[in-house]
Structure 1
Amino acid sequence: MTDSLFRNVARVAVALVFVVIVLGAFVRLSDAGLGCPDWPTCYGKATWPRHEHDVARANEAFPERPVETHKAWREQVHRHFAATLGALVLMLALRANWRVPVRRYGIIAAAAAAAAGTFLYIAGQHAVSVVASVVALGVPLALAVYSSGRQGAPAWSRFTAVLLALILFQAMLGMWTVTWKLKPIVVMGHLLGGLSVLAMLVWASERSRLAPKVYPGASWLRPWVWLGLAVLTIQIALGGWTSANYAALSCGLDFPQCLGQWWPATDFREAFVLWRGIGVDYEGGILDAPARTAIQLSHRIGAMVTVAAVLIVVAALFRVRGMRGPALVLAALLVVQVALGIGNVWLGLPLPVATAHNGVAALLVAQFVLILSRLTPRRD
């Protein structure tokens, strides 16, 4: 793939998705996840209520959640950045599928269905909106299947079709985060979806370079890198579950102990109930102390396993001369991430440290994907 426009858009999208992930963490950690009670508007506005008469009107329309401007702007700015990211992903999909009419019009139809579904949702036509959303998701996936193995298919047609479907599903998760009132499984899924988008965009940016760095002779390392990435993903999911259930400080300010003990009272059965129905307001968390403690301890145990797995990957990468630089970056990010995790506990979860903890997790994922791209022979 030597298309400079595709390559440049992919690079910009990588930077933007990182910003979106960090902004999402900032919104969640500053308790602004429900700063706008509706979606995709904020108190019925494309921006957010800023003037006194707008605030008064919004409070009358949403009496159950009065306007808190410092929360509303954070949530809506995050949405605008995410929408811009969606537009960039659409550009990539169109660029990769433009030459073949059926794929080009399919991507356009998916975008139109997504836009229609959004406006129908705002208008209160929820049932029809669901149909439009299903079409928006289904068409790119169908195109990916259609493109598979077909001669003459553009190199990135299937990849970008799947990426477009993923970003549209991310938008739906963002909607459910609000409408289902910070349901933990949705919040965690939204985080993992964002990281998946980051991973795909990093891959596209790296592999679409004119002369990407590739070390096919070291392909024996790939299973180890995949294993490390899998362990890291599970640990990030545990971190997302910890945050979504407000369990980050369930051990107090103690580390490595928890509440002055090595193993305090826990309730693992309640801690990992993934689905509790719809209609519950999860803001602030609903679990009791033993369940939250169980989540925090699980995250700490997961951290130890993750450190060991990443260090094994780093040691393996050092056996290949050309991979020593990426290995050092991976090791440095791991050290910073561990320090931020401990700092979150000792300092009482300060917003800058907690947000940075999420950001470095994203950088770790990106570095793993970059390493995988250099260990994978090119086929296009």
Structure 2
Amino acid sequence: MTDSAAATRFRRLGTLTIFAVYFVIMVGGIVRASGAGMGCPDWPTCFGQWVPPMHENQLPANYHEIYAARGYENTNFNPVKTWTEYTNRLVGVSIGFLIFLTAWSSRIYLKTDKAIFYLALSVFFLVGFQGWLGSAVVASNLKPFMITLHMLLALFIVALLIYAIARSQKNLLANLDCQWLERKHITVLKVAMLMTLIQIAMGTQVRESVDFIAHQHSYIDRQYWRDSFPIIFYIHRSFSSVILFTNLWLAWKIRQNTEKHSLLWRMAYVLIGLITTAILAGVSLDRLDFPVVAQPIHLLMANLIFGAQFFIFICLNYSTKKVLTTQPVFQNR
């Protein structure tokens, strides 16, 4: 038997880590939306210092030439962008400590469920790789492909964390009432998760195009950016309606068949709230000339949507296993 107090600490620490990872994703979105990705042109230091300067006069007089020789042309010190990127790095380091503590606390499952420990340990090593990838992003001078890979790895890390925490609570999740569940519900949920991943992939392509357009306009004249949008932007925008109605159907089925205020009932409302917020942020990007604040919100909501869908899927999976031991779960009705 696993010590209940230690299991509770693991669950709470793991949950805190999940939210912290989502926070660093949002901060990364702020960095990207504000054009602060090269606020620190070197890594792990920032302008050669562990604590970046506050004023340009704290840098060598020839720092432009120094960084031009390293492949970073037109490097101009901007304290706001520099400290925005530096804050992003500090948050990332803090996440590393949290994930280490999560992995350390998961050792209590070595005798009862080794998979939980190995999942947490894998996350720890992946975060280390993510840190290296962050340095590669800077070294690549913010190549769009590298930025997208950096974000997708963060999404994968969150999914592993969610699964590890949910697996540690599988006995509790097995008690969820899923007598109503049919095969079509699971199928639609899988399709919904796949659609979310496709939408995120398309979103990264749109983001790359916007980065290129923004660079052409020197990150000003946002009202003219829309004139240069590629066709994938309009596909991405229209596909959001398909995603909304698919998840509305799922949420309605959950609300219709589960007890009010139960875990699944609340998750259904959370899912629709996240999708609605993502769509509203997307509309503001389209119609309000790409306000900076809307971009990280849109990115964060996309990641949270997949996380919510994945958690619902895990809940249904564990509860279904219990039902299968007593009666067939996928009945023809």
TM-score between the two structures when normalised by the length of structure 2 = 0.77
Closer, same or farther in 2 for the Cα pair 1:247/1:35, shift >3 Å?
Answer: closer
Structure 2 partner of 1:34: 38
Closer, same or farther in 2 for the Cα pair 1:311/1:152, shift >3 Å?
Answer: closer
Closer, same or farther in 2 for the Cα pair 1:174/1:60, shift >3 Å?
Answer: same
Match runs of 1:262-281 below 5 Å: none
Report the AA paired with residue 223 of structure 1.
T
For 1:323-359, what per-residue CA distance to the aligned partner results, in whole angstroms no more than 9, with x for missing partners? 3332222122222221211111111111112222122
> Higher mean Cα deviation, 77-86 or 25-34?
77-86
- Quote how far apart the aligned CAs of 1:247 are: 6.4
Residue of structure 2 aligned with 1:201, choices 156, 161, 179: 161
Residue of structure 2 aligned with 1:62, choices 42, 45, 67: 67
Question: Whole-Å Cα distance in 1 between the matches of residues 151 and 295 of structure 2?
Answer: 14
Identity %: 24
Structure 2 partner of 1:73: 83
Structure 1 partner of 2:327: none
For 1:244-291, what per-residue CA distance to the aligned partner results, in whole angstroms no more than 9, with x for missing partners? 2216989xxxxxxxxxxxxxxxxxxxxxxxxxxxxxx9x97xxx9998
- Quote how far apart the aligned CAs of 1:89 are: 1.5
Instruction: Tell me the secondary structure at the aligned position of residue 27 of structure 1.
Output: helix
Question: Whole-Å Cα distance in 2 between the matches of residues 183 and 165 of structure 1?
Answer: 24
Question: Whole-Å Cα distance in 2 between the matches of residues 53 and 98 of structure 1?
Answer: 53
Question: Whole-Å Cα distance in 1 between the matches of residues 315 and 235 of structure 2?
Answer: 33
Question: Whole-Å Cα distance in 2 between the matches of residues 30 and 74 of structure 1?
Answer: 9
> Higher mean Cα deviation, 331-340 or 205-214?
205-214
Q: Aligned pair 1:15/2:14, yes or no?
A: no
Q: Aligned pair 1:239/2:203, yes or no?
A: yes
For 1:166-199, what per-residue CA distance to the aligned partner results, in whole angstroms no more than 9, with x for missing partners? 2223223212221112212211121222222222
Question: Whole-Å Cα distance in 2 between the matches of residues 366 and 89 of structure 1?
Answer: 18
- Quote how far apart the aligned CAs of 1:210 are: 8.8
Whether the 8 Å CA contact 1:59–1:67 is kept in 2: the answer is: no
- Quote how far apart the aligned CAs of 1:219 are: 7.4
Match runs of 1:149-228 below 5 Å: 154-209=114-169, 212-214=172-174, 215=176, 217=179, 218=181, 220=183, 221-228=185-192
Structure 2 partner of 1:327: 268
Residue of structure 1 aligned with 2:244, choices 294, 297, 307: 307
Whether the 8 Å CA contact 1:249–1:345 is kept in 2: the answer is: no
Instruction: Tell me the secondary structure at the aligned position of residue 81 of structure 2.
Output: helix
Residue of structure 2 aligned with 1:340, choices 281, 287, 298: 281
Closer, same or farther in 2 for the Cα pair 1:74/1:226, shift >3 Å?
Answer: same
Structure 2 partner of 1:377: 318
Question: Whole-Å Cα distance in 2 between the matches of residues 200 and 321 of structure 1?
Answer: 27
Report the AA paired with residue 47 of structure 2.
Y
Structure 2 partner of 1:276: none
Question: Whole-Å Cα distance in 1 between the matches of residues 199 and 207 of structure 2?
Answer: 12
TM-score between the two structures when normalised by the length of structure 1 = 0.68
Question: Whole-Å Cα distance in 1 between the matches of residues 85 and 59 of structure 2?
Answer: 16
Residue of structure 1 aligned with 2:105, choices 95, 103, 118: 95
Instruction: Tell me the secondary structure at the aligned position of residue 196 of structure 2.
Output: helix
For structure 2, the residue ranges without an aligned partner over 5 or more in a row are: 220-224, 322-333
> Higher mean Cα deviation, 295-304 or 178-187?
295-304
Report the AA paired with residue 41 of structure 2.
P
- Say which structure, 1 or 2, has more relative contact order (CA 8 Å, 6+ apart): 2
Closer, same or farther in 2 for the Cα pair 1:350/1:291, shift >3 Å?
Answer: closer
- Quote how far apart the aligned CAs of 1:97 are: 4.1
RMSD (Å) for aligned C-alpha atoms: 3.2
Structure 2 partner of 1:356: 297
Instruction: Tell me the secondary structure at the aligned position of residue 36 of structure 1.
Output: coil
Closer, same or farther in 2 for the Cα pair 1:169/1:295, shift >3 Å?
Answer: farther
Question: Whole-Å Cα distance in 1 between the matches of residues 297 and 248 of structure 2?
Answer: 21
Question: Whole-Å Cα distance in 2 between the matches of residues 349 and 237 of structure 1?
Answer: 19
Whether the 8 Å CA contact 1:219–1:376 is kept in 2: the answer is: no
